[in-house]
Amino acid sequence: MTPRKLITLGIESSCDETGIGLFCSDRGLIAHQLYSQTDIHAEYGGVVPELASRDHIRRVIPLIKSSLLDAKLHLSDINGIAYTAGPGLAGALLVGSAIARSMAWSLNIPAISVNHMEGHLLAPLLEEDRPEFPFVALLVSGGHTMLVDVHSIGKYKILGESVDDAVGEAFDKTAKILGLGYPGGPALAELAKKGDKNKYKFPRPMTDRPGLDFSFSGLKTYARNTFSKYPDNKADIAKAFEVAATQTLMIKCRRALEQLNYSSLVVAGGVSANLSLRSELDKMCNKLGARAFYPRQEFCTDNGAMIALAGHYRLSAEQFNDDSEITIKPRWSLEELNAI
């Protein structure tokens, strides 16, 4: 029996991006749309949760409508609605959850709660050149930095994570110290292009001891102290920070690949858009005879396509609960998920 064609709608609303994706079991990703709230939060220098929720509410239905229009589909063509249930901002998550569960109830189809970090982790599988299981995943976003042993979809073991700031957060905070805009990561990376990599040497935290945990809060302090001494050398400080952060990530990825004896590394989450990080990891993988896989640039940061994909796997495996209660999980570890 050939499996039934399934179309999954994905809704992302965990932070400051409203994302919609439509994934079809036989055609792959058929539409995706994104509305970024960065302009709203920029004047506050960071995400304001209440403003985020209010804006998701405004954007989500028009984005679903235009994604369906793009894919030339009707609501009645959808077989399941996946939404980010966590981790993330509670009010923002409630928007996606309420919309998804209400639509699913009225259409009499399943609603599927998706873990945001699993969405990031699976995003490289939207590309044609896909990694094979098992692999090591480095997840680097604004809220998380972790290394994961990915045995198969849903079977995850966290090998190490940040004991303080996430690396994206350290990029953002360092950018703020240097007076760059919000979000700081891309702005800092842009400025670092003009910097001299030999001017300052920042530490590579926690690389001189065994283990796969990270610590990034010290780098930001290092940047602050250097900046107060040399306020005219912003680009060199940005470069020193970027080199230290990316080399620290590279050292731990190498350690994880060697420890597990795996030959594929998946890198996902907002910071995986960083080109210096990619080149550092590609060089390391080349030397090891391994390969690194990334999402396309637009799917590194938050998006609806990755949620539609993660939802598609759960829907195909009939892994969802029929509960119509609007539930969210603002804290939700990858290790709590079920294997498919």
Interface contacts to ligand KG4, rule CB under 6 A = 15, 141-143, 168-169, 171-172, 183-186, 189, 269-271, 273-274, 301-302
CB 229 within 8 A of CB 190: no
Closer to ligand KG4 at the Cβ: 109 or 191? 191
Closer to ligand KG4 at the Cβ: 276 or 319? 276
Q: How far apart are CA 183 and CA 115, in angstroms?
A: 23
- Residue 102: CB minimum distance to ligand KG4, A: 25
Closer to ligand KG4 at the Cβ: 273 or 334? 273
- Residue 12: CB minimum distance to Zn ion, A: 8
Q: Name 113's bridge partners.
A: 83
Binding site partner of 104, from ligand KG4, Zn ion, none, Cβ cut-off 5-8 A by kind: none
13 part of the interface to Zn ion, by CB under 5 A:
no
149 part of the interface to Zn ion, by CB under 5 A:
no
141 part of the interface to Zn ion, by CB under 5 A:
yes
Task: Kindly indicate which of the ranges 58-66, 123-131, 134-142, 311-319 contains the residues binding Zn ion, using the contact rule CB under 5 A.
Answer: 134-142
Count of CA atoms in the C-beta half-sphere (13 A) of 111: 25
Per-residue binding string, Zn ion, 254-293, x by CB under 5 A, is ----------------------------------------
- Residue 8: CB minimum distance to ligand KG4, A: 21
Which 301-340 residues touch Zn ion, going by CB under 5 A? 302
Instruction: Report angle CA 197, 201, 206 to the nearest 5 degrees.
Output: 125
CB 250 within 8 A of CB 265: no
Count residues binding Zn ion (CB under 5 A).
Answer: 2
Task: Kindly indicate which of the ranges 82-90, 178-186, 216-224, 299-307 contains the residues binding Zn ion, using the contact rule CB under 5 A.
Answer: 299-307
Closer to Zn ion at the Cβ: 242 or 302? 302
Closer to Zn ion at the Cβ: 172 or 236? 172
158 contact partners, CB below 8 Å, separation of at least 6: 146, 147, 148, 149, 333, 334, 335
113 part of the interface to Zn ion, by CB under 5 A:
no
- Residue 168: CB minimum distance to Zn ion, A: 9
Closer to ligand KG4 at the Cβ: 226 or 246? 246
Count of CA atoms in the C-beta half-sphere (13 A) of 286: 6
Residue whose tokens read 């994961």: 148
**Residue type, position 319, single letter:** Q
Q: Does residue 210 have a cis peptide bond before it, meaning omega lies within 30 degrees of 0? A: no
220 contact partners, CB below 8 Å, separation of at least 6: 165, 170, 173, 174, 177, 241
Binding site partner of 237, from Zn ion, ligand KG4, none, Cβ cut-off 5-8 A by kind: none
CB 100 within 8 A of CB 27: no
Which 28-47 residues touch Zn ion, going by CB under 5 A? none
CB 220 within 8 A of CB 205: no
Sign of CA dihedral 298, 299, 300, 301: positive
Closer to ligand KG4 at the Cβ: 79 or 174? 174
Q: How far apart are CA 145 and CA 131, in angstroms?
A: 20
Closer to ligand KG4 at the Cβ: 110 or 311? 311
- Residue 168: CB minimum distance to ligand KG4, A: 3
- Residue 229: CB minimum distance to ligand KG4, A: 24
- DSSP for residue 240: H
State the pairing for strand pair 135-140/111-115.
unpaired
CB 13 within 8 A of CB 86: no
Site for Zn ion, rule CB under 5 A: 141, 302
